[in-house]
Chains A and B, each alone.
Chain A
């Protein structure tokens, strides 16, 4: 059983829709991430939350809006997406070390998004 849970697993939306992806972890990790992954490509970092505060935004378009309601939850709000935004969206969490973030990420199963 994965300790990082993402819902929904699949999402189909039109370009005018508003939807949200949800992520929950119960490992006590204080860093949480959103990654985007296209087919046959490595994951691309989108956002990082550290202690519930947004610490990294990799110049992601504003049609993606992250939210961290508490230390266990991470949301990604989607609005006015484009077909090219279709991808696998991965939530991950990790511990923070003295030197910063570790590269030891625990990924959820992902939400496969299709934008029509």
Chain B
């Protein structure tokens, strides 16, 4: 059974710091990787997708993928209190089947003013 693991947290960082969120996955056939942000009581929102090894930057967010280590991370630079949310890592395999999109249990991030 495929597994996607995240530290549940809570992870607390001071405002302006870099928040680092980590995710490991068990299936070496995984090909596409996603980070969703979910505010308390709200629905998930896609913030980053990454498909190739290396870094992908979008504003204050950087996704990092290392397929050899089966590891994907999300860095949030200059963290703001508005970044406080649960971050879900999701992984899909080459089949592209919706059934194969596996979510991690999420990491709760708190950015302290």
Contact = CB atoms under 8 A, between A and B. Distances in A.
Centre residue among A42, A90, A100 by max chain B CB count within 10 A:
A42
Interface size class of A (residues with CB under 8 A): 20 to 34
Contacts, number: 66
10 contacts: A41-B105, A43-B44, A43-B103, A48-B99, A101-B92, A101-B97, A104-B34, A105-B44, A107-B45, A109-B42
A64 interface: no
A95 B53 CA distance: 23
B101 A45 contact: yes
Contacts of B34: 103-104
Contacts of A97: 96
Name the 10 nearest CB pairs between A and B, nearest first: A100-B96, A42-B103, A99-B96, A107-B43, A103-B92, A101-B98, A48-B98, A110-B43, A103-B101, A103-B34
Given A42-B106, A97-B96, A108-B43, 16 more contacts: A43-B44, A43-B88, A43-B103, A48-B98, A56-B97, A58-B99, A101-B96, A102-B32, A102-B92, A103-B33, A103-B91, A104-B46, A104-B49, A106-B46, A107-B43, A109-B43
Contact of B98 (A42, A45, A88): A45
Contact of A42 (B46, B88, B92, B94): B88
B91 to A, nearest CB: 8
Contact of B99 (A56, A106, A108): A56
Interface string A80-94: 000000001010000
Interface string B41-81: 01111100100000000000000000000000000000000
Contacts of B97: 56, 100-101
Contacts of B32: 102-103
B43 A56 contact: no
Nearest to A103: B92
B90 A103 contact: yes
A33 B49 contact: no
A42 B101 CA distance: 12
A106 B43 CA distance: 10
